[in-house]
Each structure stands twice: as structure tokens, then as C-alpha cells.
Amino acid sequence: MRKGLDRVVDALRLAAAGLDQLFERKGIKSHMMPNPDGHPWIRVMHPMHEVRFIGITPNRGDGPIYLKLRVFLYEQYKDEFDRLLLGKFFSFEGVALLRNPAYPGASWLRYLEDEGRPVVGYETTINVSAWPDETFNARIHSLCEEFCFFARAVVTGGAEYDALPDTRPSKPAPAWLRDEAALEELQANSDLSESEILALVKIRIGQSNYRQQLIQRWGGCSVTGCKLTEFLIASHIHAWGKCESADERWDPDNGLLLTPSLDKLFDRGLIGFDDSGYVVIHPNLARGQMHHFGVDQNIRLRRDVLNKHLGIMKYLKRHRQVNGLEPISVA
């Protein structure tokens, strides 16, 4: 269990008890802590006729721990869902939390399918890593309870909804928020192998706003300048799966736009780039084969873009370090 997750699990177990009592609909054991894929979460099942369930779960991967708070409604309740995504924001301790649609992966669909009735989802997140131990359990309990009250008020509408505070986020939602949610669901899919998940992640990134940001920045291949962008690949410098946070995963400084052959070599660590942008070639890439991939000692990242975005260099260095492309210093 990763650092800090154990106290979250303990706090969620305490918070789960009694959440179903916040709703009028009774008779279903609605607070649970199942581990269908080894990951802890709260389910509040069928708390209202319109709601399939409310879910609260920690994020996956490394880095800071944040809680994902979700509501899945039956698709027919369009007005209620519109209020979730377009109406008042859920706020906790006076801070409005950003929101986005939630896309259930295969492992979630097992819990969402209900007599063939399709569902739609809402999601918001909150970082709990820095919450002190002394107040942690109490704050998690309050967070879960207040989120259930919020969901009830939004779905019910009327006076209960009107009484909710109308707090707005201090900054707009980042463009990557929806893509991050979709990719996390992919990772949670226990029916896929690791290689299948990585392949689907690559496809999703290729369809994302992140790719458009790289096209805007580079205007073509980061090395050759090729402007046939439909054939270029959005490639992470520091690998997507090794990034420590969502900010790193979706940082345009952590991306290059490459031709398929250069992307494959770069992704496998057979080439990298130094701080000046010049290619660094791994010894495993035979010199007699380099020209077949359009690689020689003189290729480099385009200077006009690199000089404007110096944040790229830290990711280039990490890529070199991970793939053994850094020069060995001699004492």
C-alpha cells in the first residue's frame, strides 16, 4: 500500500457507516468497502430512485493522494444531471471543487449495470495528502457526508438545492481533467493486460486536448518539422506511467510531436536529446541501422521552440537518466 493510503482507507471505513441514513430510501445495505480490484472505495447504493450509486475512492498511481467523489444517475434524469454538471459546484470548507463527467471503465460497469438502464456520471476531486493526522478522520467523515447531502440536494432540486452555497472555483478547470479521469478508468480495468492498457493510453492521448497543445506549440514534428500532423504522434518525454502527478502527465513541456519512427525509438530509450536539443544515441542502436529511421548524429529538436520553453529540459534530463543516455562522469 502506497505511503499515506492506509490512513485514507481507515478514515473511509469510519466514514462509510451511516451514509445511507442520509437518504429516505432504506432497505439496501448502501455503505460498503469492497475491493473488487484491490482498490478501496465507498459505495452508497441506490440512495434515491434517480441515483444508481454514489462512489468515493482514492486515486491510483504514485504521488499525492486525492479522493474522487462521483455520482452516477440513470440517463433518463437529464435535468438532474444538468444541475450536477452546469449548476452549483460542490464546495468543501468554503472551496468550490472543479468537476467533470465521469466515464466508467469495465470494472465499474459491473456495478453500474441495472436491468439495461444506461447511466451518466459526475466527478469531482480533492487533494487530501496534506491534511494533518489530528483532524484527518473527522474531515474525511465531513467530506463524505457533505458530498452525499450535496448529491441529494441537486437531485431533489427545489428549496434544498436553493439552500446550497453558490461558490465558484477560483480558477477554471484544466483542459486535461476529463482525459485524466478517462485514463484512470482504463488503468482500473482488470480485464486488460498491462500492455493493452498502455496501448489504449497512447490512443487516448492521441485523441486528447494535450495533442492539440503540442500541435499548437510545435506546428509539426519536433525534430524534422514535418507538418503532416495527422501522421505525427504525441509522445511523452518522461513516460506517462512514471509521472508523479497529473500536472506532470499533462504538462506541454513534457511532450514532443514526433514521426512514428522517431517516436518508437524515443519511447524505447534508443534516442534522447541533450539540453541543447541535439540527439543522444543509445549504444544499442547500431550505427549501420540509424539511417533507416532517419537518425544521424546531426538531428536535433527545433531550436526556435526549445529556446522559448526551457521547462522541456528537466524532462529531457529525466528521460536520459531513465534510459542510460546520460554521460558517465569520471572522478
The arithmetic mean of pLDDT across residues 13-27, rounded, is 78
Looking at 221-307, list the stretches that DSSP marks H as alpha helix, in order from N- to C-terminal side. 246-249, 260-267, 287-290, 303-306
pLDDT score, position 242: 83
- Per-residue model confidence (pLDDT) at position 272: 95
Spacing of C-alpha 279 from chain mean position = 31
Between 112 and 314, residue with greater pLDDT: 314
Q: Report the share of the chain in percent with pLDDT over 70.
A: 77
**pLDDT confidence of residue 36:** 46
| 331 pLDDT higher than 50 | no
DSSP track, 101-120: EE---HHHHHHH--TT--EE
Residues with Cβ within 8 Å of residue 214, at least 6 apart in sequence: 234, 252, 255, 256, 257
Grid coordinates representing 103?
A: 466515464
Average pLDDT, the chain: 83
Q: Is 71's pLDDT higher than 90? A: yes
Per-residue burial over 213-247, b if 16 or more Cβ lie within 10 Å, else e, is: bbeebbebbbbeeeeebeebbbbbbbbbeebeebe
Residue-level pLDDT at 23: 84
Q: What is the pLDDT of residue 330?
A: 44
d(CA 252, CA 210): 7
Q: pLDDT tens for residues 243-277?
A: 877 788 889 999 999 999 999 999 999 999 999 99
Q: Name the range with the highest mean pLDDT among 22-36, 97-111, 145-159.
A: 145-159
Measured in whole angstroms, the distance separating CA 16 from the mean position of its chain's CA atoms is 25
Contacts of 178 (CB under 8 A, 6+ apart): 100, 101
pLDDT of residue 108: 63
CA distance 6 to 175: 31
The whole-number pLDDT of residue 91 equals: 95
Buried b (16+ CB within 10 A) or exposed e, 19-43: bbebbeeeeeebbeeeeeeebbbbb
pLDDT digits (tens, 9 = 90+) for 179-188: 666 666 666 6
pLDDT band at 189 (very low <50, low <70, confident <90, very high): low
DSSP 197-223: HHHHHHHHHHTSHHHHHHHHHHSS-TT
- The reported pLDDT for the residue numbered 243 is 82
- Residue 257 is predicted with a pLDDT of 95
List, for residues 274-316, the tens digit of each pLDDT value.
999 999 999 888 677 787 788 888 899 999 999 999 999 999 9
Q: Which three cell numbers stand for residue 216?
A: 499548437
